[in-house]
Structure 1
Amino acid sequence: MIEIELEPIWRGDIQQKIFRQLLDCFALPGTIADLSNFLDDSPALLGVLAVLLDASVLFNDNGKLLQNRERRLLRAKEVEISEANFVVVDATNPPPADFTPNLGTLPSPEKGATIVLQGSTLGEGDANLKLTGPGIPGYRSVKISGFDSAWWLARREWVIDFPLGVDFLLLDRTKVMAIPRTTQIVISNK
């Protein structure tokens, strides 16, 4: 019998720990979770997707950030952006002009997509996000870099008809942060 050794992110116990971090991030928008203790040499992007995707999930790797092997292990079905539950993008570039994510429907707003934005750095950088809304006492300020500002403008349009909209997951090499559709954002560059 041939034994295949997979990275730790494919183990159930590690996925549970990453999932717990994601729950905390969504409950407390703007909180940055460092996943480096669970990733070994894998990027946060793959660790998060290993938790969220399976054969029942529709996704789109718009940024072509995943390798073929990783796509096979995730088992999720690749579809057009407008049909995807999760869309993976290279956030250092602006969204393409025809980028139209699934916003859900009034009877099923939960079907709105989660946009997984791979950027450069969470927790430091020249852009500052001031976040307000549910789960944030007062406001939370977060510095980031390597996330094109056009994503924030597009998001504003996508969440304008709440409860319809999209949720954002921001990632760098080892960290993740959630911005649900209920969160308001003011951006400044300093």
Structure 2
Amino acid sequence: MDMHALLQKPESADRLDTAADITAGAVDVVLGDGALARGLRGSWLGHPTHPLMVTLPIGAWMSSAVLDLVFKDREAARRLIAIGLAATPPAVLAGLAEFPTLGRRQRRVGLLHAAGNAVGAAAFLIAYRKYKRGRIGAARAFSVLGLTAVSVGGALGGHLSYAQGAGVHRWQVTG
């Protein structure tokens, strides 16, 4: 299976354009191009902040699965899911701040990237609740669904960043 070709498919999905344009317009109205938008986009850092910010929820969720499945520490797994959920909104905001700056083909991929990660976050919220109620089998099932969804979302995000160059060289300083 050619993963690069598979990840390129959303680039030509023009049926996503209306939703992508509405999303970009809404984000632009809310954030504009002020200090908050520039801060979320990473102007202070010299590159987008979103890729850095997603490491906390993804790492917490991966670690929760290891703690539950390998070490049978369900309470620690549940707490790590909570940490991942708490870290998700800032990562989402940083990603949304980037959205209006993307080109048409990038927005198509970005929309699916966001959708996959939204499914993943929702699955982890359900898993958290299932752990809290002692429904371990259901919690594990939703954790696996969440990891699968954020993996697909992450693959699309990687394609957006590395194959499509989203945010690349935006603040490059020439000497």
Q: TM-score, normalising length from structure 2?
A: 0.23
Q: TM-score, normalising length from structure 1?
A: 0.22
> Which has the larger share of helix?
2
Larger Rg: 2
